[in-house]
Structure 1
Amino acid sequence: MSIQASAPDAATTAVIEAEDAHVAHNYHPLPVVISRGEGAWVTDIEGKRYLDLLSAYSALNFGHGHPALLATAREQLDRLTLTSRAYHNDMLGPFAAALAELAGKDLVLPMNTGAEAVETAIKVARAWGYRVKGIPADAAQIVVANGNFHGRTTTIVGFSDDPTARSGFGPFAPGFVSVPYGDAAAIEAALTPETAAVLVEPIQGEAGVIIPPEGYLRAIREICTRHGVLFIADEIQSGLCRVGTTFACDREDVVPDMYVLGKALGGGIVPLSAVVADRDVLGVIRPGEHGSTFGGNPLAAAIGLRVVEMLSSGEFQQRGTALGEHLAAKLGDLVGHGVTSVRIAGLWAGIDIDPAVGTGREIAERLLARGVLAKDTHGQTLRIAPPLVVRATELDWAVEQLRVVLAA
């Protein structure tokens, strides 16, 4: 018996065709049209329910429509949504103070998207290199890792080695040196007097949840400190309890010079990102040198403040750890049965599918037919990142659906 993804029905097909006709084809979505969401579940326009194992690439760490976050958003919508940074607003200060305390830093520079936050970190690192370290003008370098995914702006794709992201979009900005991921010695070998920063993901998400060797982050911290180089951790996907700790760097008791945050920071309601660092780093930015009309808007700040308050309780760290251990045991049983390997940290897993049973996309489509939403990456890898509000029984059911489609 083989399991095939069911064909979309008429209403779903009509919506997809309308979207295809008027939306640029920069994504290749699964053939499902979502209309409602609650907790770890979503419902399509035909009334079919699906367990969401993607969480909008970790932007929905707290699930769909978390009551506390919706209440905060509704209250703020009735008061004030936008001022621009031309004026102060009464939510930005409290949000920044809470986020800085959560990260153990002094200052927050708020933006909107993850890519904006990475671009911000690059500008800050270069300014710090010139104004503090004394690097000659326009000579600053930043060391990055192969397999990285930090966003899709032209600067960022210029130091990507993913041909889909990079090809056809040059010329690219200079100033980046790429080394193998997980190799701290390669980072140190790449450093020069003109190196301002090292930018890495503590765990690479888009690459397939690639977890570096134990001690990698500690080695980067030591190398950067010894050479007078900033350590920038892109925690846009890995941060805010996705891996069972507040930040993925916490897994090695490491504190970077800059955290780059996004996705879950906006509670799955608004785009919200931030760079968080101490005053001796973020203090190099002067008025007029960087900004965003929507960055730090009161609606996003209010929601971000509520997110930080929720994270401060410790509940989601505990859930991410306990449920992650539960999920790891269940997924481990699939290795050798249609799965070649599993990489997991907290509630974030990369599952390598045996080519004999299908591609990652084909498995995702078969799971869709059985009421489970997941997404493929790099051909054979299935990524899952369930909301932190998911139940253990729901994870068990989802793994059973994966077992069935792999066996078929």
Structure 2
Amino acid sequence: MTFEEKLEQFAELAVRVGANIQKGQTMLINTTTETVEFTRLVAKKAYEAGAARVTVNFSDDVIDRAFYDNAPADEFAKFPRWISEQRDELIERGGALLWIDAQDPDNLTGVPVEKLSAQQKASGKALENYRDAVMNDKIAWSIIAVPSKKWAAKVFSDLKEEEQLPALWEAIFKTVHIGEGNAVDNWEQHLKNLDARADLLNAKRYQKLHYKAPGTDLTIELPDKHIWCTGASHTPAGSSFVANMPTEEVYTMPSKYGVNGFVSNTKPLVFQGNVIDQFKLTFEGGKIVKAEAEVGHDLLQELVKADEGSKYLGEVALVPHESPISASNILYYNTLFDENASNHLAIGEAYPTCYEGGSSLTKEELEEKGINTSITHEDFMIGSGEMDIDGVLADGTVEPIFRNGSWAF
């Protein structure tokens, strides 16, 4: 298969499997100036699938950095109203949202954490309605990524400059099952396999999970009505979509106040254009009571102080260590990929879709049931080939779920 053929399949996947554009639907694409040619191809595919209108918002790493370096101090606590209004209109019209990521993982390195934190809080508040729509699958949404020169240089720093971008393209193609046969058919089978794993976990009804690995000894209680989900979701109208491409996880929510112990990361977390690494979180009664990091310590403190909910967990995700992305031994410095190579957790808001009837509950009702709400949702990777996970049933029976980083059943 030629590079052009793979590119065509990737655009087709983004439109027909990721966002799953329906006839007459509007589509919003958020991306960077690094992706112009590919984004044009995606827009063309969306119109071929029946989209009524495709709108593209281009950001730019250089301009984004200029904002943080030069804007007046009070501007970081503000957020453009037109951005939230644009997304609100998309929600009202039942449109679909596609993110095409190509950002430089180090773009905002050195920016004072106070600026990053202020802007995060401002955007979190302004985009509350949008975040609610995404977390509750009220619209179709999907995130994919394509290479940029700076990102490729960081991932493949050992290669010659002219080899870096092609290497990252090929690596990404593999993660989204492009290269052998029909990619859409490959994804249909892949999602069936993930659904089968989620069905097994849902049948178990574990009350809690116990994680053990070097630097980790953590117990996580699960709500009585928790649901294990996969990357395949459905809008209220019944249209399917895949939020993350690639995806290798099955995930659910923790009981907000039922997390105790400590956990250490196994892959870097890229947050706000900065790397946070070699960190350890300690929990008591669900709350993060201590957060330590050798790299990005101050930014980690700001993350867990964004609001009250950012001091708690919102997601528990299982990914075997031998997943294709993990087996590639490539560190992507991009959560979309790295989280699908590793068991991971998320600081902040829980997906209401992981609780029976959760999507119909208000934030106050979710909190009453011990389900976390927050302006944040940041995944961080904790899995390795040395991790064991046990599941505890209602009668106290302990069963192995993971042994040495792999499924035990």
Q: TM-score range by the shorter chain?
A: under 0.3
TM-score, normalised by the number of residues in structure 1: 0.28
Greater fraction strand:
2
Q: Whose Rg is larger?
A: 1
TM-score, normalised by the number of residues in structure 2: 0.28
Give the structure, 1 or 2, with the largest relative contact order (CA under 8 Å, sep 6 or more).
Answer: 1
